[in-house]
Structure 1
Amino acid sequence: MARTVKSWLVLLAVASLLLVNAPHAAASPAPYESYNYNYWREAVPSPDAYLPSHIVTGKELGIGHFKEPGDVNVSPAGWIYILDSGNNRIVVLDSDYQLVRVLDGFEKDGSQENFNMPGGLFVDAEERIYVADTGNSRVVILDSTGKWIQSIAKPTSDIIPESFQFQPLKLTVDAVGRVYVVAQGVYEGIMQFDEQGDFIGYVGTNKVERDYGEYIWRMFSTKAQRAQMILFVPTEFSNADMDHKGFVYATNIDPGSNEPIKRLNPSGEDVLKRFGYFDVKGDIRYRNSTGPSRLIDVKVLGDGMYSVLDATQNRVFTYDDEGHLLYIYGGKGNQVGTLKTPVAIEQSGHYQMVLDRGKNSLVVYESTRFGRLVNEAAAFHYQGEDAKAVDLWKEVLKLNANYDIAYIGIGKSLLMEKKNKEALAYFEIGMDRKSYSVAFKRYRREMMKEHLGTFLTVAIALIVVLLLTRMAVKWRQRGRVDRETGLH
């Protein structure tokens, strides 16, 4: 008996050691409630699209605690770059979250230079590192080993005042090396630099949200009163990312805007699609004590999808190419998976990462079966492969029978197959009135075309019967008149 007990204790000890030394724990149950919005703008429960997987800290990596980390970026090769702003360094990890190197400075023209509270970074396909070195008023470009390549300092231009202080906060880079910089105090738009570092101009000025009551009052107020009023100044952008077509996705910091997310074409025009039930702006219903979503970062996921980070409720909202809200995850708290002060979001395969300045850590989330099915189905729809998406949407409905986008996706596939009657039922359940109208018109045309011969035959027969009936009536009336005339 004693030997049996001893054996069980040995097994338990071995199992405990294996669990402790496991590189990453399996995704744990969500410490937050996942939800979505229906057609009536009601928050309804939804399966979790992402679950917390694990947390990466500086202490875990053996390099000391992170201090006020500012940004995170994943290179096309899969390496993870964490901008540890408070420690003025860049921490480089491989795809398994193991430390590769730490870049705490660089050599330029024979002298050692350091970062000063850098705010953002971006890594291109050649592993070149672009750093928004905010405190030093410059953008620094390094190679993959940390060797200095180039710096972009305060630009000179006729449209930039002499008193302008260049303080880059965030940045992104296109395929040909043009650098797009979100700078502090710049309301004209995102600053654009060519591959040589020369200033080109601004891209995508935010529109002013006017208060017309104040505008009218300004017309009748005194000079002193007007001086105390708030000026109609455009809001600043908060972050930017680039898609494979060279379009810039950008968020602004105006919580009252109905268009806090933009997709800017090369001309600076906003071409973001907003075909969903409601505005593309994070939470559409909220408590007065918290206020609307304040979007501080955007990540392009590919295939038309993108995620935005809300600093009000510490949640992530993901949309498809047409502006439909796919899913929401995250929340406030101190548990694993909840966030304190999120500052940046990134993606790597089936994982998404949120950099939490409040906890000085990188929180890693893994997609669930529901999340992967939604992502794959939305990707097929974006690629025009609606028929391939149908089976995936049906699997989604098994997990969430109230998922309107799945009904709409199946309906669109049926519409492409000219199964208009079947599509009507799915569009009705999905509350897609526009698609329902299209399907109804097509179904009506189909019915008329199919039954046109029968309709014409019946119509002609009715006309012939009507004519014969009228002729018979006239004949009978004439015969009666003749008979009456003959009697007289």
Structure 2
Amino acid sequence: MSRNKISLKRMISAALAAGLALTMTVTAFADEPYTAYNYDYWDDAIPSQSAYRVEKTVTGADMGLDRLSDPSDPLYISDDAPAKLSDAKDLFYDQDNDTFWVCDSGNNRILRLDTDLKVTGCYTGFTGSTEISVGEDGKSTFLNPNGIYVKKSIFDDKLYVYIADTDNSRAVKCTVESGTEMTLVQEYTKPDTKLYDSETFNPSKILADKAENIYVVCKSVNTGSVQFNKDGEFQGFYGANRVEVTAAVIAQKLWRKIASNEQISAMTRNVPVEYANFDIDADGFIYTVTEAANTTTDAVKKLNPAGYNIWDNAVGDEYSFGDVASEYDSTTNKTYKCRLTDICVSDNGTINVLDYENGRVFQYDKLCNLLCIFGTKNSTSDQAGSFLGPNAIEARGNEVYILDGTKNDITVYTETTFGNVVHRAVLLYDEGRYSDARADWEEVIKRDGGYAMAYVGLGKACLNDGEYMKALDYFKTAYDQDDYDKAFKYAREEWLRDNFTVIMIVIIVLIALLIVKAVLKKKGIKLIKRKKKEGN
């Protein structure tokens, strides 16, 4: 096929898919501040059905933060306790207790919220043995806490709150005593060892695994997260990013082989980019995200217990996260790239990645298939669903919560009907139950004819059900070459099996004809020779 034909086919296919999707999505995203889209086989953005819609936006007033300044309320903190969020940096959902926790960083406090996002606790510090930021009441206060993680211990069944107390240069592990009181269990400060060579210890994010090992992301530490054991002992670094391979890096590596010591010492060091945030799933795998706008290497990683990336492109697998290409904004004359600032793995395995730069959420299944894109950043609008400074993302079931540290609110997204069907189909698909997912994929196609993954899902269902010719059509539509080849192999084997008798008869007949032809030819030759002999 010529290049012109391929190009024409691509344009026609993209136009048809976009047109079909547009006719189906006008109603779906008419009330949303963003246009939902997805990517086709050629990585072109095409309109798609909205998988999520804005349920509500919750401010400090909606949370009931005025309770914190009411002397008659059990949650009373002080007469001048702020009634709104300020530069909130982190959000965490505690699945065990069905509660949310917020790092209200600008107000130097931690908030606990119920599922309606109403305040049920406020903590400005903790009691316990420490000498950092101790007030007149003997309580050690928080100073710009940036990260929070909450976990029930498998050892003593207690609930522990882990806090990255950034400007106090420490991380802490506390127990909750009431709606306003915490008690210190363990404090983590700068490791006193030559292995830790950074001048500072400014933790920004924190999490704990099942064994209660602590992982801390520190600013200016690019060798991975700082790891402590259950007793607070420094264990080393975990899951460092690789150096971004660029033309400049390659050239410098070659130049180092011939440069003098003076020239080498004057060169800029190529070091990994530290990651910005992480999350841990139910199986203990840690997912990291790197915020640097210009990085592609290790932008999102899934780490095994040894700290190695399971999604390592070096082994030949291809994974991409965020937008495929940069976006040009004609109003500001700027080109925007993704800054993936947070990651959240929901209890059903979906992976949600938050793009700070563009205010978008990229949702993937556990196999890294892109499911949907939603959200937007809009500096000129206060419309629900648009963001100014999206700092954190969490999921509760299929609901998605986004904390905006500039607008000082939390936006709650819920599934649309389309999103619900997609999630049902994907759950079955990822479990290998392709036939069971067939009806849902057919419904997805009805609602969004350009949804490529649905055609792959239907192709695998047909392949599983022995409908190989239908599978070929679906894989061809999805441009899924590998599965198409597999379906073609099965279709060929089925055709040979079904037509074996006819094929054998044809072969026998052909052989017989060849034998007859050979015999006749031989007799003809003998006849000619005899006539020649008689003529002589």
TM norm. shorter chain > 0.5: yes
**Distance (Å, rounded) in 2 between the aligned partners of 1:446 and 1:99:** 63
Q: Aligned pair in 2 of structure 1 residues 65, 276: CA closer, same or farther (>3 Å)?
A: farther
Q: Report if aligned partners of 2:92, 2:148 keep a CA contact under 8 Å in 1.
A: yes
Structure 2 match to 1:409: 457
**Distance (Å, rounded) in 2 between the aligned partners of 1:296 and 1:260:** 10
Structure 2 match to 1:62: 65
**Equivalent residue letter for 2:299:** P
**Equivalent residue letter for 1:152:** Y
**Distance (Å, rounded) in 2 between the aligned partners of 1:363 and 1:95:** 13
* 2:370 maps to 1:325: yes
Structure 1 match to 2:11: none
**Equivalent residue letter for 2:147:** G
Q: Aligned pair in 2 of structure 1 residues 482, 220: CA closer, same or farther (>3 Å)?
A: closer
**Equivalent residue letter for 1:179:** I
Q: Report if aligned partners of 2:336, 2:358 keep a CA contact under 8 Å in 1.
A: no
**Distance (Å, rounded) in 2 between the aligned partners of 1:452 and 1:68:** 73
Cα deviation for residue 247 of structure 1 reads: 0.8
- Deviation string 1:287-332 (CA, Å, 9 cap, x unpaired) is 3523321111000024442011111111110112222211111111
Structure 2 match to 1:29: 31
Matched residue of 1:458: which SS?
Answer: helix
**Equivalent residue letter for 1:172:** L
Q: Aligned pair in 2 of structure 1 residues 457, 144: CA closer, same or farther (>3 Å)?
A: farther
Q: Report if aligned partners of 2:357, 2:377 keep a CA contact under 8 Å in 1.
A: no
* 2:531 maps to 1:478: no
Q: Report if aligned partners of 2:57, 2:384 keep a CA contact under 8 Å in 1.
A: yes
The 5 Å alignment of 1:29-428 reads: 29-60=31-62, 61-63=64-66, 64-76=83-95, 77-109=97-129, 111-125=138-152, 127-145=159-177, 146-161=182-197, 164-210=199-245, 211=248, 212-216=250-254, 229-258=267-296, 259-272=298-311, 279-287=319-327, 289-333=334-378, 334=381, 335-428=383-476
**Distance (Å, rounded) in 2 between the aligned partners of 1:290 and 1:222:** 39
- Deviation string 1:214-233 (CA, Å, 9 cap, x unpaired) is 54566677877766653201
Q: Report if aligned partners of 2:347, 2:397 keep a CA contact under 8 Å in 1.
A: no
Cα deviation for residue 270 of structure 1 reads: 0.8
Q: Aligned pair in 2 of structure 1 residues 176, 376: CA closer, same or farther (>3 Å)?
A: farther
**Equivalent residue letter for 1:88:** N
Structure 1 match to 2:20: none
**Distance (Å, rounded) in 1 between the aligned partners of 2:176 and 2:488:** 57
Structure 2 residues without counterparts, runs of 5 or longer: 1-28, 67-82, 130-136, 153-157, 329-333
Superposition RMSD in Å = 2.4
**Distance (Å, rounded) in 2 between the aligned partners of 1:137 and 1:466:** 91
Matched residue of 2:145: which SS?
Answer: coil
**Distance (Å, rounded) in 1 between the aligned partners of 2:265 and 2:535:** 108
- Deviation string 1:175-227 (CA, Å, 9 cap, x unpaired) is 22122211111111122222222222222111111322454566677877766
- Deviation string 1:458-481 (CA, Å, 9 cap, x unpaired) is 112211211111111211331333
Cα deviation for residue 401 of structure 1 reads: 0.7
**Distance (Å, rounded) in 1 between the aligned partners of 2:208 and 2:436:** 33
Q: TM-score normalized by structure 2?
A: 0.81
Query: Once structures 1 and 2 are overlaid, which stretch shifts more, 51-60 or 270-279?
Result: 270-279
**Distance (Å, rounded) in 1 between the aligned partners of 2:184 and 2:503:** 80
Matched residue of 1:471: which SS?
Answer: helix
Q: Report if aligned partners of 1:192, 1:202 keep a CA contact under 8 Å in 2.
A: yes
- Deviation string 1:76-128 (CA, Å, 9 cap, x unpaired) is 12101111011111111111222211111211149311111111001114542
Matched residue of 2:411: which SS?
Answer: strand
**Equivalent residue letter for 2:425:** A
Q: Which of 450, 456, 463 in structure 1 is aligned with 2:498?
A: 450
Give identity over the alignment, percent. Answer: 33
**Distance (Å, rounded) in 2 between the aligned partners of 1:287 and 1:230:** 30
Q: Aligned pair in 2 of structure 1 residues 277, 390: CA closer, same or farther (>3 Å)?
A: farther
Query: Once structures 1 and 2 are overlaid, which stretch shifts more, 468-477 or 72-81?
Result: 468-477
Query: Once structures 1 and 2 are overlaid, which stretch shifts more, 204-213 or 92-101?
Result: 204-213
Structure 2 match to 1:6: none
- Deviation string 1:23-46 (CA, Å, 9 cap, x unpaired) is xxxx99211111111111211111
Q: Report if aligned partners of 1:345, 1:354 keep a CA contact under 8 Å in 2.
A: yes
**Distance (Å, rounded) in 1 between the aligned partners of 2:445 and 2:435:** 16
Q: Report if aligned partners of 1:276, 1:325 keep a CA contact under 8 Å in 2.
A: no
**Distance (Å, rounded) in 2 between the aligned partners of 1:276 and 1:379:** 26
**Distance (Å, rounded) in 2 between the aligned partners of 1:277 and 1:186:** 28
